[in-house]
Structures are given as structure tokens and as C-alpha cells.
A and B are shown apart, each in its own frame.
Chain A
Amino acid sequence: QVQLVQSGAEVRKPGASVKVSCKASGYTFTTYEINWVRQAAGQGLEWMGWMNPHSGNTGYAQKFQGRVAMTRHTSNSTAYMELSSLTSDDTAVYYCARRGGENFYGSGSYGYWGQGALVTVSS
């Protein structure tokens, strides 16, 4: 069964960076794009970007360009999202999500999600 297991909660000070991991299992890691979506408390979903685990190619939402980096280690089927220059506005739950499912692969269709990782930015 497909699973995405994320790292635990993190607390950072303003100006710092955070790196969240997402370990995939139950499928061939390099076959499916990993996307990152965040959600502030009581707010909606916000797309951050995508990464192709095979090529390492990435695409980021304009809002995060310059301070987000999505990487991967294929040897252990793990994707990473690092966000720098944190402010209190970055306090949110960060989700990794696998694009596609059993027989579909459209943009924005995420058949599998991690459990989320809470990142708190506070002085």
C-alpha cells in the first residue's frame, strides 16, 4: 500500500530555515511527482510546488520562489522541502502529496497524502 510518512513537528525562530521530509513506500518512488501543499490554522490549502523524483526537476509557486527548495534522495525514497527566511506567516501544516493514482495522473490530482508536519515559527 502506498504511504507517505512525514517528519515530525518543528519549531523555528523568525529568519531560520526548516526542512521537512516525506518518505514514500509501496510504489516506485521515481515514477510519481511529489507536490507540497501547506495549510495555516483555520485556513485553506496553498500549493507550494512540485518535484519530479526521477529527474530532480522542480517547479515552485511564484510566492515561494527564492526561498523554497524541493529535493530528494532516491536511495531511500525520500522527498524534502526546505523553506528559508521563515516568518510567523509560515506557521502551518505542511503536506507532501503524490500526484496521480491507480489510473490517473492529472495536474492537481493527489491520490496520496502524508500525514502533515506542523511548522511553528515563533520568537
Chain B
Amino acid sequence: QSVLTQPPSASGTPGQRVTISCSGSSSNIGSNPVNWYQQLPGTAPKLLMYNNSQRPSGVPDRFSGSKSGTSASLAISGLQSEDEADYYCAAWDVRLNGVVFGGGTKLTVL
């Protein structure tokens, strides 16, 4: 059972916009920035978003992030086949004194 809650799966067709949610509590998302990772099969995770909505250099602006209260969301617009991957949210938890991850969302591009 992960501290941060994500839907296990999401899907969309090419060109569509999909959103992945991440729900936490006051000790993590409610008090600290959220980060998002993309993990392609057989590879290490890649940072997609930091500080809730900031993209590292090289990440397309099709990816956007937001946070409200104890929840966060990752949106992908103009869905492409190469976006098919697992997506994880992460944040520092002040009660656990460590980083917590969501369980991951497997995105399928139909």
C-alpha cells in the first residue's frame, strides 16, 4: 500500500489529453512539492516534473503538472504512442521523514 495514491491504469488515443491523479495527505503533498517520473519498460525512471509544475529541460510542453491541497495531477496533451509508460508521483513526507512514491499508473495509448 503506497502512501501516495494513483490510479493503476489510464488510457487514451493518439492526440487526446489524459490526466493522472496523485492523492496524498497534509504530511506530504499538502506541505511539499510534487515530482513526477516517467518510466519506460526496462529503463530507469526519468524526471518529468518537479516543484509541482516545472519541467526539466528537454521535457516537451505537452506535459504539465498541478497541485491543489493534498492532491496533484499530471496532464499529457497531444498523446503520442511513445508516451506509453508507467508514471509515478513522489513527494517528501514530513511525518515519515522520507520520500514517498505513488504506486504508479500504467498509461496505455490505444
Which residues does A use to contact B, with CB under 8 Å? 35, 37, 44-47, 49, 59-62, 95, 97, 101-102, 104, 106-111, 113-116
Minimum C-beta distance from A23 to chain B (A): 15
Question: B51 touches which one: A60, A62, A95, A106 (CB < 8 A)?
Answer: A106
| Residue on A nearest B33 in the bound complex, by CB | A106
Which residues does B use to contact A, with CB under 8 Å? 2, 32-33, 35, 37, 39, 44-47, 50-51, 54, 56-57, 88, 90-92, 96-104
Contacting pair A108 B97 (CB below 8 A): no
User: Which residues from A are CB-within-8-Å of B57?
Assistant: 101-102
| Residue on B nearest A105 in the bound complex, by CB | B50
Contacting pair A108 B92 (CB below 8 A): yes
User: Which residues from A are CB-within-8-Å of B44?
Assistant: 95, 113-116
Question: A62 touches which one: B96, B99, B102 (CB < 8 A)?
Answer: B96
Question: A113 touches which one: B32, B45, B88 (CB < 8 A)?
Answer: B45
Known: A106-B35, A108-B35. A47 touches B51 (CB 8 A): no
User: Which residues from A are CB-within-8-Å of B91?
Assistant: 107-108
Contacting pair A109 B50 (CB below 8 A): yes
User: Which residues from A are CB-within-8-Å of B33?
Assistant: 106-109
Contacting pair A110 B47 (CB below 8 A): yes
Contacting pair A104 B101 (CB below 8 A): no
Contacting pair A104 B50 (CB below 8 A): yes
User: Which residues from B are CB-within-8-Å of A62?
Assistant: 96-98
| Residue on B nearest A110 in the bound complex, by CB | B47
Contacting pair A44 B104 (CB below 8 A): yes
| Residue on A nearest B105 in the bound complex, by CB | A44
Contacting pair A101 B56 (CB below 8 A): yes
Known: A44-B88, A45-B37, A107-B99. A95 touches B45 (CB 8 A): yes
Alpha-carbon distance A111/B46, docked complex (angstroms): 7
8 closest pairs, A vs B, by CB? A107-B92, A113-B44, A109-B50, A47-B99, A44-B104, A108-B90, A108-B99, A45-B101
User: Which residues from A are CB-within-8-Å of B51?
Assistant: 104, 106, 109
